[in-house]
Amino acid sequence: MSQPVDIPETMTAAVIDKTGPAENLHTATVPVPPSFLGDVLVKVAAAGINPVDFKTRSGKNPTAAALRFPAILGHDFAGTIVREPYEAHPLRAGTKVFGMTTLPRYAGSYAEYVAAPTLAVAPKPTSLSFTQAAAVPLAALTAWGAVVDVAKAHHGQRMLIHAGAGGVGQFAVQFARYFGADVVTTASGRNIEFLRSIGAKAVVDYTTTRFDEVLSDIDVVIDLMGNAHDDTGSRSLRVLRPDGLIVNVPTGSFPTLFEEADAAGVRATTFKLVASGDTLAKIGRIIDAGDVSVHVDAVYPLAEAAAAHAELEKGHTRGKIVLEVE
């Protein structure tokens, strides 16, 4: 039986009092979140930052409308369980874990403590630090869902992955390679060698070359951009083989996806993440085996969450940015 842990009534968290620019993020003392049946309470060591976080903070994500202020942002976390659902649960107090929580049903992870459903938590990979582990959950689960569950990555498949050097992209490239696909990705010139080192067979520098002018007969496009910039989604349809598949990930980024795909004679689907601790545990085992690496571009203390958001919004992050909480 795990030993009881003294849990304080309050904690420090990075919060917003209203939606808006990055400088709205500030630290405050707030109540430790409750955990209910099916939840664990985790003492957070590190929290990952994702684009969905700054979209919610700015009010551009529908989740923002359901926030209760002061609102704690953040999905990804790594830390140690301090309260389990019941004494004999496999995820016991004292277990080092990584996982994600879901706004607005739960308070976010930019805090000293976070409550999360056990179904979205897994033991932390032993080969990763807390900081590295916090960079994994949302991005890796999104990549796995798009590349493995939907696109069925396999030997001989030609897969184009946009924004391969980003948080989701770094995992998408590696999962596709792991399952045998031939990976082509788009990135800026400074990321070419990095992407080759993690498994990309070819990299198109979007700053000098239009990918739709040099690629063709692609089986699957993992679209992490949509039409948010330079009609990337629409141009992706031109490089697919007949009846090829485009998987569009960023919500609302390609409003005319299905009409354009139908006209081009290709298949299309969006993808929405449903967190799975079982899949996260599987990803953790692949990481521990050395088949997938985790790149953390920058680490900020919790008190500098606003600066971390501002940096991520520039759009040039390689891998992930992480907040250190402990």
**For residues 179, 288, 190 and 46, what is the CA-based torsion angle, rounded to 10 degrees?**
130
Per domain, the residue ranges of the chain are 10-136+294-324, 139-270
Q: What is the band of 3 on the pLDDT scale with cuts at 50, 70, 90?
A: low
> Could you give the 3-state DSSP secondary structure of residue 116?
strand
Q: What is the band of 6 on the pLDDT scale with cuts at 50, 70, 90?
A: confident
Predicted pLDDT of residue 152: 98
Predicted pLDDT of residue 175: 98
Give the closest residue to 162 by CA, choosing from 253, 88, 90. 253
Q: Are 276 and 21 in contact (CB under 8 A)?
A: no
Please name the residue that has the structure tokens 């989701």. 168
Distance CA 307, CA 193 (A): 28
Looking at per-residue pLDDT, the higher value among 300 and 4 belongs to 300
Distance CA 319, CA 139 (A): 9
Homologous superfamily assigned to 139-270: NAD(P)-binding Rossmann-like Domain (3.40.50.720)
Give the closest residue to 95 by CA, choosing from 111, 78, 107, 112. 78
Distance CA 46, CA 36 (A): 22
* Residues sharing a CB contact under 8 Å with residue 225, sequence separation 6 or more, in sequence order: 162, 163, 232, 233, 250, 253
CATH class for the region spanning 10-136+294-324: alpha beta
Distance CA 57, CA 25 (A): 8
pLDDT digits (tens, 9 = 90+) for 135-148: 999 999 999 999 99
Please name the residue that has the structure tokens 């999360």. 116
Q: Residue 115's beta-bridge partner residues?
A: 41
Predicted pLDDT of residue 4: 59
Predicted pLDDT of residue 326: 85
- CA 54-95-109 angle, to 5 degrees, is 15
pLDDT digits (tens, 9 = 90+) for 47-95: 999 999 999 999 988 899 999 999 999 999 999 999 999 989 999 999 9
Tokens of 277: 């601790």
pLDDT digits (tens, 9 = 90+) for 216-258: 999 999 999 999 889 999 999 999 999 999 999 998 999 999 9
Whether the per-residue pLDDT at 297 is higher than 90: the answer is: yes
First to last CA, the chain: 26
**For residues 17, 18, 23 and 28, what is the CA-based torsion angle, rounded to 10 degrees?**
10
Tokens of 68: 């209760």
Give percent of the chain above pLDDT 70. Answer: 99
Strand runs (DSSP E) across the chain, as ranges?
A: 10-16, 26-31, 39-49, 71-72, 76-83, 96-100, 113-117, 121-123, 158-161, 182-187, 202-205, 218-223, 240-248, 267-270, 296-301, 320-324
